[in-house]
């Protein structure tokens, strides 16, 4: 019996495709050449957001943040510098507020140490939930005077809400700029007199210390507002 010779020829490119398909069928994975890139989102989710915070600017009882809206949820590091003449710190409240009017003069959260003029520090907080988080200076009287605001995690914070948060609760507390009379002289050892947080030496007020805090109290046009000496 005569056997007819035969030959099965696969085009070069077709052979590669067939081989790749067979490899995928047996191994259950796509060929490296056709795999899609993955892991971009997970890499972004692990990124730490860095926000530069300046205390005492643009006015003594105010903060300036490099970013305060639509910050990604996750780890946030605040690089805080006190450029005011008074003592300040930075506290981030860890429970979101429903509205700007819900901003208070104190809260549960994490804060930096108290900084003198020119000093810097960092604060890292994990914020997993989207929302509006209050930040403030917890030196007594400062938040009540308007040294507070809102940070939007995953949500926008309009300028109008930032302004509303700074004014919220301004009728309570002590030391508001241009507000009621407060005591600025220290009494007792170490200046631990009741209600006094000026940082002045005993018998010294903001005005007599010569410190200019841009509030008018050192000029005699406003009451001493208890916001620090240098």
pLDDT in tens, 12-33: 444 444 444 444 444 454 444 4
Cα(30)–Cα(71) distance, rounded to whole angstroms? 36
In this prediction, residue 169 has a pLDDT band, given cuts at 50, 70 and 90, of confident
Instruction: Kindly tell me if the per-residue pLDDT of 36 is higher than 60.
Output: no
Of 63-67, 93-97, 206-210, the least confident = 206-210
The strand order across the sheet containing 91-93 reads 109-111, 91-93, 131-136, 148-153
Instruction: Kindly tell me if the per-residue pLDDT of 166 is higher than 60.
Output: yes
Instruction: Kindly tell me if the per-residue pLDDT of 195 is higher than 50.
Output: no
Per DSSP bridges, beta strands 148-153 and 131-136 are: antiparallel
| Residues 38-60, mean pLDDT to the nearest whole number | 73
**Dihedral through CA 171, CA 176, CA 179, CA 180, nearest 10?**
90
Q: Are 73 and 125 in contact (CB under 8 A)?
A: no
| Residues 168-173, mean pLDDT to the nearest whole number | 62
Instruction: Kindly tell me if the per-residue pLDDT of 110 is higher than 80.
Output: yes
The pTM assigned to this predicted structure is 0.58
Q: Which of 143, 226, 218, 128 is nearest to 180 (CA)?
A: 226
């Amino acid at each position: 019996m005569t056997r007819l010779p035969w030959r099965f020829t696969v085009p070069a490119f077709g052979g590669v495709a067939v081989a790749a398909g067979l490899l995928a069928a047996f191994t259950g994975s796509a060929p490296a050449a056709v795999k899609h890139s993955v892991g971009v989102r997970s890499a972004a989710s692990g990124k730490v957001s860095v926000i530069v915070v300046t205390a005492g600017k643009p006015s003594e009882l105010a903060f300036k943040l490099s970013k305060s809206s639509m910050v990604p949820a996750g780890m946030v590091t605040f690089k805080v510098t006190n450029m005011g003449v008074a003592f300040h710190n930075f506290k981030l409240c860890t429970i979101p507020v429903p509205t700007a009017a819900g901003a208070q003069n104190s809260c549960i959260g994490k804060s930096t140490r108290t900084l003198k003029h020119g000093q810097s520090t960092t604060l890292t907080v994990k914020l997993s939930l989207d929302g509006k988080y209050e930040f403030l200076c917890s030196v007594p009287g400062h938040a009540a005077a308007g040294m507070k605001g809102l940070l939007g995690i995953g949500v926008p914070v309009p300028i109008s809400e930032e302004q509303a948060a700074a004014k919220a609760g301004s009728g309570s507390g002590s030391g508001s700029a241009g507000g009621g009379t407060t005591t600025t002289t220290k009494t007792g050892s170490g200046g631990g007199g009741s209600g006094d947080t000026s940082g002045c030496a005993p018998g010294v007020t903001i005005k007599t210390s010569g410190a200019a805090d841009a509030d008018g109290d050192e000029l005699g046009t406003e009451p001493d507002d208890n916001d620090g000496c240098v």
